[in-house]
Amino acid sequence: MQDVKIASAQFTPKDVDKEANLAKIAELTGKAASAGAEIVCFQEQAIAGYNLWGLGSSNQRAGGGKVVEPGRVSPAWKLPGAHPYDVAEPVPDGPSTQKLIGLARQHNVILAAGLPEVRRDNAVYNTYVIVSRDGLLGKYSKCHCVPGLEFAYFKQGNSLPVFELGKIRAGVLICYDNHFPEAHRVLAIQGAHAILMPHVTVGRGWWHDLPPEQAHQQARNWILTWLRARAFDNSVFAVFVNQAGQGEQGTLGCSMILDPEGDVIAECASTGEDFVVAELSAKKYYDVRRRTHDYLSHRRPELYGPLTRIDVAES
């Protein structure tokens, strides 16, 4: 690992308006690059918007309660209006990924953002692409789709890769993925220095209908409850980037970057459009691994067999 400056950039996307969202990505990429960022990260589904809330129950009614393979969309399930399938693109040959590559070349940065990806199996995936001036560096598809919400729209990914991003190695976990700590450990074992965590998330404050000021603080506290642990337990940098703006979902922003000791080293101060840049220090990473808490070297994998069980013991 070498020192690298990374940006976490949040904004409120316009649902299914990829042109407008790419324009906003271009604007924020330029600002982040001017602030010294070498890698610029955007949220889950930043390119097309996360246009799923409120559709699940209606789609189930329209489909007569049929069970459809995750990620595959039958005409009977399609309602008037937007669906991820309508705006999905291939990667890397689709126009949005090519636009990102052009922006990466223009600003000499590595650029990462989420979009709905369609593949040869005609399924749609919740994908996060990482590009440089030379093309695609990697893509990751969400492995843990949200039950009752995303299964009618996205097929789950089936791998947890680590990507070479110039000065660092990084993995990606998208939103709900981050509540399965085994995934973070897999990435750390594979040599990830950082984990990119693109989100569209709210928090307990909104779930309990608190006033906006209280909701924001409650949500931030909730995020840090698990985010600090993911960074600290795996000795990795955590790059949390969340959708901004109230909108229909009330997403909270609060994008932030944590070091391998779980300390916040940069944070967006508002729920609105914003970005922060932080240096991921190689010295900090290696000091933590060598002197502070090298948990990865002290594991006892022979004890962890039950983690691979499909069934869960009844409580």
Q: What is the CATH number of the domain that holds 211?
A: 3.60.110.10
How many Å separate Cα 13 from the centre of its chain? 15
Tell me the average pLDDT of the chain.
87
Question: What is the pLDDT at residue 70?
Answer: 47
In a domain, 305, yes or no: no
pLDDT classification of 136: cutoffs 50, 70, 90: very high
In a domain, 29, yes or no: yes
In a domain, 84, yes or no: yes
Position 205 pLDDT exceeds 70: no
In a domain, 97, yes or no: yes
Question: What is the pLDDT at residue 294?
Answer: 84
In a domain, 206, yes or no: yes
In a domain, 307, yes or no: no
Question: What is the pLDDT at residue 269?
Answer: 83
In a domain, 306, yes or no: no
Position 147 pLDDT exceeds 90: no
In a domain, 315, yes or no: no
Tens of pLDDT along 34-56? 999 999 999 999 999 987 544 44
> Count of domains in the chain?
1
- Which range has the top average pLDDT, 101-115, 238-252, 292-306? 101-115
What's the predicted TM-score (pTM) here?
0.90
Instruction: Give the residue numbers spanning the domain of 282.
Output: 4-291
